[in-house]
């Protein structure tokens, strides 16, 4: 049985034959086309995995052929082959959808390695496509927006997790999309008809976390006037998402570990064991390895939770995802605001690409929503963006050459401004978000001379 179907689009019959012979030695099923039209006719009949396309074809370019192939079948992975090697051609080919760029004369040892990598990527694309087809409407493909290889890997892991019943640990910074990943796993799994319940552990007083999770009998603590059903019980048949698991107190980590091992728990104030058929998905923005070294997180619980680990990278490490995300949010908030916004200006997009997004996707969405409110035309411009975004984008470029002490100061100023803006200039809320006291925040505002009327 052939490993994969590979289409060669090459107008030179000798070159086509040479490529075909090398691929057939590896047991690939090879199809040949001398033109773009012939290639499309083959793709209409046969499912292709890889398309190896020559850059210069008789009367057309390989780039236009790649575009046409992907329109017919976006799951094909194209490779560009050319004797005209230059950076401009490489960039253009990859922008139009080519996975890689191979220069003639072909080194077939390297070429076969590229084919193997392309097939792995193509397999990931098929897995992701199947995942997207199976999601509930709220978590459909139109909401799983990315363009980076790092998020492609996340999507692949999500598809694997959705097919499994194992516990999942999602790591990543605040606002990176951990909750969306957890929901996507649930709504594409066999449990999608069951409940999806989320608990943000830091938002609960420590004295109430146990009753919130495991439930409580009447009279088990002051204010318990009736029996309380906990999230473990209420989520039976579905998924329980434990957000910021690193903040779970040690005594409750023991109880969570027992549940993961025995599928059994106790209501607060009861000695009767209860069982629940619930899947646990946990998330954290903290370094659990460090917490374990500090004896603030149990290693045995970590290994129970970390059966499938999905790390969601911060937006600053995958800036190629910013343009498609911006387009997605423009469509969403243009409709919500009853406007006809179609695009974002190049200048405004460049401003966003220079910004580091400490709040990740959540911050980007807030920025685009605000811009949609302020936009009066068909395109979002720089004037529609918050002033602090433009200032911080410029500051970050300047900071690159500064001494460490000055860069740390600039970072503090930037984070304080952001926290103040996100809290509506309420110092107590901004201080909590920054993890410092209000008194310390006031002191830093004074020494850094941060104006009281920060502009949005």
Last-in-domain residue among 291, 311, 331: 311
CA distance 85 to 165: 48
Contact criterion met (CB below 8 Å) for 224 and 267: no
Query: Does 282 lie in the same domain as 249?
Result: yes
List, in order, residues 6 or more apart from 228 with CB less than 8 Å away: 211, 215, 216, 267
**pLDDT for 139 beyond 70:** no
| Element housing 33 (H / E) | strand 29-33
Tell me the pLDDT band of 300, cut-offs 50, 70 and 90. Answer: very high
The CATH code of the domain that includes 442 is 1.10.8.60
Section 288-295 average pLDDT: 94
Among the ranges given (71-85, 158-172, 291-305), the one the predictor scored with the smallest mean pLDDT? 71-85
Q: Residue 1: pLDDT band by 50, 70, 90 thresholds? A: very low
* Confidence tier at 369 by pLDDT (50, 70, 90): very high
Q: Which residue has the tokens 């068909």?
A: 378
Mean pLDDT value across residues 370-389: 90
Strands 273-275 and 264-266, sheet pairing: antiparallel
| pLDDT of 356 | 84
In a domain, 399, yes or no: yes
Q: What pLDDT is attached to residue 127?
A: 65
138 falls within a domain: no
Question: With bands split at pLDDT 50, 70 and 90, how would you rate the model's confidence at 140?
Answer: very low
DSSP string, 275-344: E---EEEEEESS-HHHHHHTTSS-HHHHHHHTTEEEE---GGG-GGGHHHHHHHHHHHHHHHTT----EE
Indicate the DSSP class of residue 137.
G
pLDDT at 193 over 90: no
3-state class of 413 per DSSP?
A: helix
Do 226 and 347 fall within a single domain? no
Question: What is the structure's pLDDT at 152?
Answer: 87
Residue 299 covered by a domain: yes
Residues 417, 418, 421, 426: is their CA dihedral positive or negative?
Answer: negative
Question: pLDDT band at residue 396, thresholds of 50, 70 and 90?
Answer: low
Residue 452 maps to a domain: no
**Alpha carbon of 33 to those of 40, 67, 89: distances in Å?**
9, 16, 22
% of the chain at pLDDT higher than 90: 47
Q: Do 380 and 343 contact (CB within 8 A), yes or no?
A: yes
Q: Residues 244-256: pLDDT tens digits?
A: 999 999 999 999 9
Residue 388 in this model has a pLDDT that exceeds 80: no
More confident position, 87 or 344: 344
When divided into structural domains, the chain yields a total of 3
Q: Cα–Cα–Cα angle for 325, 154, 366, nearest 5°?
A: 30
Domain assignment present for residue 276? The answer is yes
What is the 3-class SS of 54-68, one letter each residue? ECEECCEEHHHHHHH
Which pLDDT score, from 0 to 100, does residue 391 have? 65
- What pLDDT does 133 receive? 53
Would the pLDDT of 399 be above 70? no
Inter-axis angle of helices 438-447 and 427-434, to 10 degrees?
100
330 & 307 share domain: no
Pairing verdict, β 196-200 and 308-311: unpaired
Is 235 inside a domain boundary?
yes
Q: Which pLDDT score is estimated for 136?
A: 46
Distance of CA 177 to the CA centre of its chain: 6
Domain boundary among 292, 311, 330: 311
Top-confidence residue, 395 or 99: 99
- Mean pLDDT, residues 332-346 taken together: 93
Distances from the Cα of 131 to the Cαs of 123, 127, 161, in angstroms? 12, 6, 10
pLDDT the model gives residue 333: 94
What CATH number is associated with residue 94?
Answer: 3.40.50.2300
Among 75-89, 125-139, 337-351, where is mean pLDDT lowest? 125-139
When pLDDT is cut at 50, 70 and 90, the band that residue 58 belongs to is confident
85: left (phi over 0), alpha (psi -120 to 50) or beta: beta
* Residues facing 266 on adjacent strands: 273
Provide the strand spans (E) within 185-291.
196-200, 239-243, 264-266, 273-275, 279-284
145 in Cβ contact with 328 (< 8 Å): yes
**Do residues 427 and 343 both lie within one domain?**
yes
Rounded to whole angstroms, how far apart are CA atoms 9 and 25? 19
The verdict on residue 140 lying in a domain is no
CB burial readout 19-40, b (16+ within 10 A) else e: bbebbeeeebbbbbbbbbeebb
- 410 shares its domain with 441: yes
Cβ proximity of 356 and 321 under 8 Å: no
In a domain, 143, yes or no: no
DSSP-assigned states of every residue in 373-405: HH--SSEE-GGGS-HHHHHHHHHHHHHTTS-HH
Do residue 167 and residue 280 come from a single domain?
Answer: yes
The reported pLDDT for the residue numbered 44 is: 87
CATH number, domain of 228, equals 3.40.50.300
Tokens of 169: 């640990």
Tell me, yes or no, whether 169 and 283 share the same domain. yes
Q: Are residues 288 and 391 in the same domain?
A: no
Q: By percentage, how much of the chain surpasses pLDDT 70?
A: 89
**Residues 39, 9 contacting (CB under 8 angstroms):** yes
Distance CA 275, CA 391 (A): 55
Residues 228 and 343 in one domain: no
Place of tokens 């608990």: 199
CA atoms within 13 A on the CB side of 155: 26
Residue 181 has what pLDDT? Answer: 94
pLDDT band at 84 (very low <50, low <70, confident <90, very high): low
148 closest CA partner among 168, 177, 171: 177
pLDDT at 270 over 50: yes
State the chain's mean pLDDT as an integer.
86
Same domain, residue pair 305 and 178: yes
Domain end (from 289, 311, 333): 311
pLDDT band at 87 (very low <50, low <70, confident <90, very high): low
Range of the domain at 94: 5-127
- CA 5 to chain CA centroid, nearest Å: 30
Question: What SS3 state is found at 196?
Answer: strand
In this structure, are 287 and 322 located in the same domain?
A: no
pLDDT digits (tens, 9 = 90+) for 439-455: 888 888 888 888 876 65
Q: Are residues 178 and 302 in the same domain?
A: yes
């Amino acid at each position: 049985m052939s490993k994969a179907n590979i289409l060669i689009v090459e107008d030179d019959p000798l070159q086509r034959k040479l490529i075909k012979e090398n691929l057939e030695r590896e047991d690939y099923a090879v199809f040949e086309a001398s033109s773009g039209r012939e290639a499309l006719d083959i793709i209409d009949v046969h499912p292709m995995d890889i398309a190896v396309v020559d850059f210069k074809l008789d009367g057309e370019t390989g780039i236009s052929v790649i575009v046409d192939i992907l329109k017919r079948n976006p799951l094909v992975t194209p490779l560009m082959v050319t004797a005209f090697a230059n950076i401009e051609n490489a960039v253009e080919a990859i922008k139009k959808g080519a996975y890689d760029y191979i220069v003639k004369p072909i080194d077939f040892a390297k070429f076969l390695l590229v084919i193997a990598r392309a097939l792995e990527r193509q397999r990931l694309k098929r897995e992701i496509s199947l995942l997207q087809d199976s999601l509930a409407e709220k978590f459909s493909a139109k909401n799983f927006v990315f363009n980076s290889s790092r998020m492609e890997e996340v999507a692949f892991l999500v598809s694997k997790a959705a097919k499994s019943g194992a516990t999942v640990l999602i790591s990543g910074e605040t606002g990176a999309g951990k909750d969306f990943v957890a929901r996507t796993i649930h709504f594409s799994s066999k449990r999608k008809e069951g409940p999806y319940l989320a608990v943000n552990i830091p938002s609960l007083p420590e004295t109430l976390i146990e009753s919130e999770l495991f439930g409580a009998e009447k009279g088990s603590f002051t204010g318990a006037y009736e029996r309380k059903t906990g999230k473990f019980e209420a989520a039976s048949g579905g998924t329980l998402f434990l957000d910021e698991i690193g903040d779970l107190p040690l005594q409750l980590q023991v109880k969570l570990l027992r549940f993961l091992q025995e599928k059994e728990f106790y209501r607060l104030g009861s000695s009767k064991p209860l069982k629940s058929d619930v899947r646990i998905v946990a998330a954290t923005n903290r370094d659990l390895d460090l917490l374990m070294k500090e004896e603030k997180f149990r290693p045995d619980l970590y290994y129970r939770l970390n059966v499938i680990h999905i790390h969601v990278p911060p937006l600053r490490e995958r800036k190629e995802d910013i343009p498609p995300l911006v387009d997605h949010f423009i469509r969403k908030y243009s409709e919500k605001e009853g406007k006809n916004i179609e695009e974002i200006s190049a200048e405004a997009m460049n401003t966003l690409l220079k910004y580091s997004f400490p709040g990740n996707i959540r911050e980007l969405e807030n920025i685009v929503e605000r811009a949609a409110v302020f936009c009066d035309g068909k395109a979002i411009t720089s004037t529609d963006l918050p002033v602090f975004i433009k200032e911080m984008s410029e500051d970050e470029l300047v900071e690159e050459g500064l001494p460490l002490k000055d860069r740390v100061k600039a970072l503090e100023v930037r984070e304080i401004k952001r926290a103040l803006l996100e809290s509506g200039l309420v110092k107590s809320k901004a201080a909590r978000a920054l993890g410092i006291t209000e008194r310390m925040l006031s002191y830093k505002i004074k020494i850094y001379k941060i104006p009281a009327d920060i502009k949005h």
